[in-house]
Amino acid sequence: MSERDMTLEQALEQVVAETFSEMAFLDAIRADAPPDSNETQVFVIEVRGDTTHHLILDLPLETKQAIVENIHARPWDEIASNDIDDCLLEFLNVLGGAFGRLYWGDESRYKLSFPEVRIGIPEEIDREAMQTFWFDAYGNFFAVHVGTE
Amino acid sequence: MDQIAEARKILIVDDSSTSRMITRRCFEMASTQPITFLEAPDGAAALTILQDNDVDLIITDINMPKMDGMTFVWKVKMNKRLENTPIIVLSSMKNERMENGLNGLGISSFIQKPISPAKVAEFVGEPA
C-alpha cells in the first residue's frame, strides 16, 4: 500500500503506535470504546494539507503520567505542571507532524498549528463530523478525536 | 560531517522545553565527549545568544513563535561570522518542498522528530 492510498484511520493508527513507542516507550493499540468516558483537558493541533484536520488527544491521568514520566525519566510529582503541559503538547506536535507526512506523503505540503491545551472539545469542532478512535495503552483507554473541515 | 561530529558547543533552538531536553539528552548519549549546550525558545532569542557566543553547531526547530526556524536559518546564513556554522533542522513537519528550501539555504541536515540517540549517532559518528 502506498502512503497516498492510506486512509485517515490507517494513518492515525500507525502514527499513534509509532509516536507512543518512539517517544514514550509505550505500546498503544486500537481498542473498542470504554463504557464511559468524560473528556476534560484535551490537547489540540490543526494539521492543514489538502484537507484540514484537528487532532484532539484526550488522555486519562494514568496515560498522561506514563507518557510524561517516560519522556522525562522522572516521577510525575517531581515534574512542574508547565513542564507536564509542554511535554504533552510536544508529544502531540510530533504526532501531528508524523500524521501529515504519512497521510499526505513526502511530496505534499502541509502545515501544523501550535498545539494547545483546551478544556473539552473546542466549540469550533463540528461534533457531528468528528471521528473518535480509541486506543489502549496497558489497560488505560485514551481517545484521539479527529475533526475534519 | 566532521564539523558536526566534533561539535562541543551546541545551540538548541526550540519553543518546547521538552524537545530541547530530549535533544540535549540524545547528544549526551551519542557522544563520548562533554558538550556545552546553549538554549533558546525561538529564532530571535537565538540570534541574541549568537551575538555574544560562537557555537560549533546549531539545531533548530521550524515552527516557533516570534521568529520561525526558516527565517532564523536565513539570517544565520546571511551573517558573515555565522554563515559557516553547521545547522541541523529538527522538525515534526517534513516534506520535500520544505527540505529542498532549507537545503538551498545551506543547512547540513534535516531530522524529523522524534529525535533519538541512534539518529544523532549518524552525525557524531559514535555509538549510541
- Asked if A101 lies within 8 A of B98 by C-beta distance, the reply is no
Q: Averaged over B38-59, what is the pLDDT?
A: 96
Asked whether the predicted pLDDT for residue B49 surpasses 90, the reply is: yes
Kindly report the average pLDDT of chain B as a whole number: 90
* Residue-level pLDDT, tens digit, chain A, 149 residues: 444 568 999 999 999 999 999 999 999 999 987 766 666 789 999 999 989 999 999 998 999 999 999 999 999 999 999 999 999 999 999 999 999 999 988 788 899 999 999 998 888 888 888 999 999 998 888 999 999 88
The pLDDT of residue A85 is 96
The pLDDT of residue B126 is 52
Confidence of residue B127 (pLDDT cuts 50, 70, 90): very low
Of B20, B3, B17, B9, nearest in space to B90 by CA: B20
The Cα of A18 is separated from the nearest Cα of chain B by a number of Å equal to 10
Write out the residue range of the structural domain in which residue A106 sits. Answer: 3-31+40-148
- Asked if A107 lies within 8 A of B94 by C-beta distance, the reply is no
The secondary element (H helix, E strand) that includes residue B26 is helix B17-30
Q: How far apart are CA A71 and CA B1, in angstroms?
A: 29
Domain boundaries, chain B: 2-121
Chain A / chain B CB contacts < 8 angstroms? 60
Q: Are A52 and A44 in contact (CB under 8 A)?
A: no
The pLDDT of residue B51 is 95
* Residue B31 in contact with partner chain A when CB distance is under 8 A: no
State the CB neighbour count (10 A cutoff) for residue A76. Answer: 13
How distant, in Å, are the alpha carbons of A22, A130, B79, B93 from that of B114?
7, 27, 30, 11
Q: Are B93 and A97 in contact (CB under 8 A)?
A: yes
- Evaluated on CA atoms B39, B45, B51, B52, the torsion sign reads negative
- Identify the CATH number of the domain in which residue A18 sits: 3.40.1550.10
Percent of chain B with pLDDT over 70: 94
- Judging by DSSP bridges, how do beta strands B109-112 and B57-60 pair with one another? unpaired
* Residue A24 in contact with partner chain B when CB distance is under 8 A: no
State the CB neighbour count (10 A cutoff) for residue A22. Answer: 15
> pTM here?
0.91
- Asked if B16 lies within 8 A of A89 by C-beta distance, the reply is yes
Q: How far apart are CA A91 and CA A23, in angstroms?
A: 8
Q: Best of A93, A107, A110, A116 to disrupt the B interface by mutation (most B CBs within 10 Å)?
A: A93
Confidence of residue B125 (pLDDT cuts 50, 70, 90): low
Identity (one letter) of the amino acid at A83? D
- If 0-12 CB within 10 Å is exposed, 13-18 middle and 19+ buried, where does residue B128 land? middle
- Asked if A93 lies within 8 A of B63 by C-beta distance, the reply is yes
Question: How many domains are contained in chain A?
Answer: 1
Q: Which among B16, B63, B95 has CB closest to A108? A: B95
Q: Are B103 and B74 in contact (CB under 8 A)?
A: no
Cell of B53: 557566543
The pLDDT of residue B128 is 43
Q: Which residue has the higher pLDDT, A125 or B3?
A: A125
Contacts of A97 in chain B (CB under 8 A): 91-94, 112-113
Q: Which among B16, B93, B96 has CB closest to A90? A: B16
* Residue B89 in contact with partner chain A when CB distance is under 8 A: no
Q: How far apart are CA B94 and CA B5, in angstroms?
A: 24
Q: For residue B39, report the phi and psi dihedrals to the nearest 5 degrees.
A: -135, 145
Q: Which residue has the higher pLDDT, B32 or B109?
A: B109
Cβ within 8 Å of A, B 97-116: 97-98, 112-114, 116
User: What ipTM goes with this model?
Assistant: 0.88
- Give the CATH fold of the B2-121 domain: Rossmann fold (3.40.50)
The pLDDT of residue A35 is 66
Q: Are A6 and A100 in contact (CB under 8 A)?
A: no
